[in-house]
Homo-oligomer: A and B are copies of this chain.
Amino acid sequence: MNIDPVILFFLLGIAAGLLRSELRLPAAVYELVSMILLLSIGMKGGIELARQPLEAMLPQILAVLLLGSLLPFVAFPVLRFVGRLPRADAASIAAHYGSVSVGTYAVGAAWLADQGISFEAQMPLLLVMMEIPAILIGILMARGFRSDLRLSLVAHEVFLGKGVVLLIGGLLIGWIAGPSGIVSIEPLFFDLFKGVLALFLLEMGLITAVQIGGLRHYGVFLVVFGIGMPLLSAVCGALVGVWLGFSEGGVTLLAILAASASYIAVPAAMRVSVPEANPALSLAASLGVTFPFNVLIGIPLYHSLAIRLGA
């Protein structure tokens, strides 16, 4: 078997974290590395947008917006009634799993590239679209349409958070500059991509190790949910992909997006909008279980699923 080195960086991070090594990325380096990933993914999507008519993608955009809005409705009752979690926690975790993880997407896209499987160029655009609706749904689930909902604050948090701004900003830059315009900045944003992803996953491994430590407190339900939910979501995502007529690679990536759980945009938004939800709980699930599961096991699984579904 041939393991992608970026996965090995992730495992190195987990091992160093569990062994309580002193290794840690400075905050500034983690931010630089995330910025490059987000801008790069955004620009890749934007470059392709420059090549396609936007209207053709409207149905796809609507489909993933719907997918992202519905997944929390699957997760919430399980969390609330099987897991017996308080309403705020159930809503917050449901939002995490309805939204997407850019890191998981990057690993999945790299895995497909390694296998020589191409995918629809608009995937980064769909990624951006899927990031947002679950956040709004989660907040409504937790708080209802109450008067003190400070909607402008929520919208600000959601649409102007670092991640979304960089993704959409990259998208627009790629779109306006087009494939030939972007050539001069490719060495930083495209050639270094995999190396930067390796550093990012090293830090993700260190963070995951901390979350694994926290899992003990929350019992077996969270682990089962953290594996079961992405499997279910992946099936939903793959079906939507097939229905949209995507290629094998596109179906796989949509399954990966659906299966992934947010750990950047959603936690930040929930902390401010649903503060009574315990962030340790949702991060233990999304980072301690689902992220490593998807990255280490899920991706090839979702690919076989895509093939089985005839994509």
Q: Which residue of B lies closest to A21 (CB)?
A: B160
Q: How far is the CA of A191 from the CA of B187 in the complex (A)?
A: 6
Number of copies: 3
Main secondary structure of the interface of A (DSSP, over half): helix
The yes or no answer to A305 lying at the interface (CB within 8 A) is no
Q: How far is the CA of A176 from the CA of B15 in the complex (A)?
A: 15
Residues of B contacting A162 in the complex (Cβ-Cβ under 8 angstroms): 21-23
Residues of B contacting A172 in the complex (Cβ-Cβ under 8 angstroms): 8, 12
Of A61-69, A81-89, A193-201, A236-244, the one contacting chain B is A193-201
The yes or no answer to A140 lying at the interface (CB within 8 A) is no
Of A27-35, A215-223, A281-289, A291-299, the one contacting chain B is A27-35
The answer to whether B8 and A160 have CB atoms under 8 Å apart is no
Residues of B contacting A191 in the complex (Cβ-Cβ under 8 angstroms): 187
Q: How far is the CA of A172 from the CA of B165 in the complex (A)?
A: 37
The answer to whether A8 and B177 have CB atoms under 8 Å apart is yes
Of A97-105, A116-124, A178-186, A252-260, the one contacting chain B is A178-186
Residues of B contacting A28 in the complex (Cβ-Cβ under 8 angstroms): 26-29
Return the contact of A181 from the options B4, B156, B161, B188 (Cβ within 8 A).
B4
Residues of B contacting A169 in the complex (Cβ-Cβ under 8 angstroms): 12, 15-16
Within 8 A of B (CB), among A141-195: 156, 160-162, 165-166, 169, 172-173, 176-177, 181-182, 184-189, 191-192, 194-195
Residues of B contacting A12 in the complex (Cβ-Cβ under 8 angstroms): 165, 169, 172-173
The yes or no answer to A228 lying at the interface (CB within 8 A) is no
CB of A242, distance to nearest CB on chain B (Å):
29
With contact pairs A8-B172, A20-B156 given, residues A185 and B194 touching in the complex (Cβ less than 8 Å): yes
CB of A273, distance to nearest CB on chain B (Å):
14
The yes or no answer to A2 lying at the interface (CB within 8 A) is yes
Within 8 A of B (CB), among A50-105: none
Q: How far is the CA of A23 from the CA of B189 in the complex (A)?
A: 18
Q: Which residues of A contact B (CB under 8 A)?
A: 2-6, 8-9, 12, 15-16, 19-23, 25-29, 31-32, 35, 110, 114, 156, 160-162, 165-166, 169, 172-173, 176-177, 181-182, 184-189, 191-192, 194-196, 198-199
